[in-house]
Structure 1
Amino acid sequence: MCSVADSVSREPKVGPLEGAESSRVSPLAGNRQELDSLDRVINVSNKRKGKAVKKSSGRSCQVRSTTQESPARQSSHAQTRGQDWEAFTNLDGLLASLPMALVGVDDEGDVRFWSNGCQQAFPRPSKADCGRPLETVLARMARRYHAPGLEGLAGLIRAALKKGSSTSGWQFEIRSNGQAHLIQADFSALQTGANGGAGGGVLLLQDVTARERLEDGTREVSNLASLGQLAACIAHEVRNPLSAVKAAAQLLVQENSGNDLVSRYASIIDREAARLERLVGDFLLYAKPPSPQRLPVSVEDLVRRCCEILQIEADRRGVRLECRHKSTLPIISADHEALLQALLNLGKNALEATGEGGKVSITAAWEGLAAPVKIVVRDTGSGIPRKNLERVLIPFFSTKSYGTGLGLPITKRTIELQGGDISLTSRSGRGTRVEVSLPVSRSEDASR
């Protein structure tokens, strides 16, 4: 692995240096070329007394004469070297504990160290990558983790090194361990090179997936608050005229019972006004849902009642409905009617997506302790295309010609207000699986 400790050699092998007769290179000083960027990054002083000489590469390294040192002084230097090695080793462990990856590059853009942080989302490259150009390393990792944004990052870093500047806020997605992660990269050039130029730099890689989700949630809450005020205003302004339209349509039907044409048009007005009233009601329910009335709720009774109501619709459609649950289900604190309506909506969607002869199953399970209760609604219908899978939870998106696009978003909001979560998985032609997770507190566990 490419680490801080890898950059320090206990016994470096060096050839004779011009102008350094009867001298030997200190173990730390002998690796000075590899440690240049480290010294700048971690601010560890490795000063030695002596004169500077030039290697064949033109870089300077510090040497000290052994003929002029007493045994006590040589012992002191050996002790100092041991302390330096221990400091680097401890620093390597410290960097590995950080929830981010720290990458050091020299003034030529070659990787000099890569800390062990951020391993879950962004495993560091192999030890062989130390000393290779960062562009080469990132290009290989871009292919491995399906992250084309990494290659663009390498170009930005190369430009920043050339100008001695910094770049921050570059974000890209990678796929690691079967999950998508959003990574943010920040690079800072170090102004310690020759003639004040960039003498390398530090690249910081952080997994900001959770942070972005939190920020998205905060924005959503803010948007919903504004939407709630708008919804209340619309509901008030639209419902009153709608009531008048419906009443007028019903009067037309009553007073023109012998006129088929008037009755037919009046019925259309009444039906469409009722549909618009439902849409306004759904919009208000999504944007400004009522506060949950939390009471003890038996998950077993909740699932049983849901299946009893759905059974009538399943029989009408010729769909087999299966309901299963473990005998040990807890009592949870929730709004019974709101949860029942959410489950009924999921069950109704499953029945509508399943053709005659298909199957819909509703199962409930709980693993005990602090684990959530999981209620799964699964169907053998046509499934949801991948491009629509995430969009079905967005308000007003619907694949049905008669749908409002608010059914699933309302269900999602209802479950989240109970402290739960909902997730969907689907494959075209294979059906859809919806999982609802509801929290169980310790007190509820004890009272079951």
Structure 2
Amino acid sequence: MNATNRTVVVTGIGATTPLGGDSASTWEGLIAGRSGVSALKQDWAVDLPVRIAAQIAVEPGEIIARPQARKLDRSAQFALIAAREAWADAGFTAKAGEDAAIEPERLGAVIASGIGGVTTLLDQYDVLKEKGVRRVSPHTVPMLMPNSPAANVGLEVGARAGVHTPVSACASGAEAIGYAIEMIRTGRADVVVAGGTEAAVHPLPIAAFGNMMAMSKNNDDPEGASRPYDQARDGFVLGEGAGVVVLESAEHAAKRGARVYAEALGQGISADAHHITQPEPSGSGIAHALRNLLAGSDLKPSEIAHINAHATSTPQGDVAEIKALRKVFGEDVDHMALSATKSMTGHLLGGAGGIETVATVLALHHRLAPPTINVENLDPEADADVVRGEARVLPEGTIAALNDSFGFGGHNVVLAFRTV
């Protein structure tokens, strides 16, 4: 196989989410159909129109030593926790160079964030106003940089093949993983740590999203607020956390005897060129991304048994995605078990593609599709096989799964994985 068409596999997974402090507890929560959404108890939330969010289950301060944590924005803390788990899960025992299984020059890191160090920026501005110039942290700039999570993960593992930070709103995490696949496929790296992170549970983003009418205001029922495909859906619920995978060339993984979760088939990318925040209503841009995925891989629609949908619980977005699936796959959609895991985790923005890739890979590995919760009255326009009630066993044999991610600005990214 030539260096421009190498097979890529997933050998490690890691996560910290509203459902659990690692990938195992997160997966357990997804399969159980447990909501990670709760009421905001902070004093600053009292006067907000939206007073619910999917907050992290395990605070990073319980895991990262204080001297290091105080130099990291919350988004970088999440990324580091998820990356450490994924790195160890892949079987690496030290950073590149110290672990003889990987050379630093053959290791990359691609960690995305849609918003970056927003809490650092806003908190330090408050310090500046209230306490003066001298009290502003000298760590502020490296903490607020959007590439801070990627840079810190790269430092942690010793990545020298390239450290990158795609920023494409809520498609950022998926685009990071797609970029990482290409780094390996084209021979730039043998191993890449990739994913997405976000930490934007703060009054300003919540107020802004709320005033856009993008978020659910179902404050009286936090656990039932995120309800993709339900006729009464009224917007997404903000979540926080990170999801990271270790991607590796199949040859490199076999050489070191690594366990393989799934094959990473590739990505399909497109842009709507329609509106800064609204999806193209017919799903044509998403359909173009799906066709690009098929054109760039050996994936057959008949192989696709599962889709982890973007499905944020917005009236237009949920339906546009299904229209796109119908445009490209036709009746084959009837045999694709569709899961909307944001019903449980909330919407992690730039971290969504990361944690949902973890969920997609685990769904293939365990042959189990998570349920979509809170769907009491299915929208008739949600013309697909939405997994509801309880988890669904997936078919035997070779099957594939998609992870869809879309973002403000019209960014569309679709990732595909297959059983091994």
Instruction: State TM-score, norm by structure 2.
Output: 0.22
Q: Which has the higher contact order (CA 8 A, sep 6+)?
A: 2
Instruction: State TM-score, norm by structure 1.
Output: 0.21
Answer with 1 or 2: which has the greater Rg.
1
Structure (1/2) with the larger helix percentage: 1
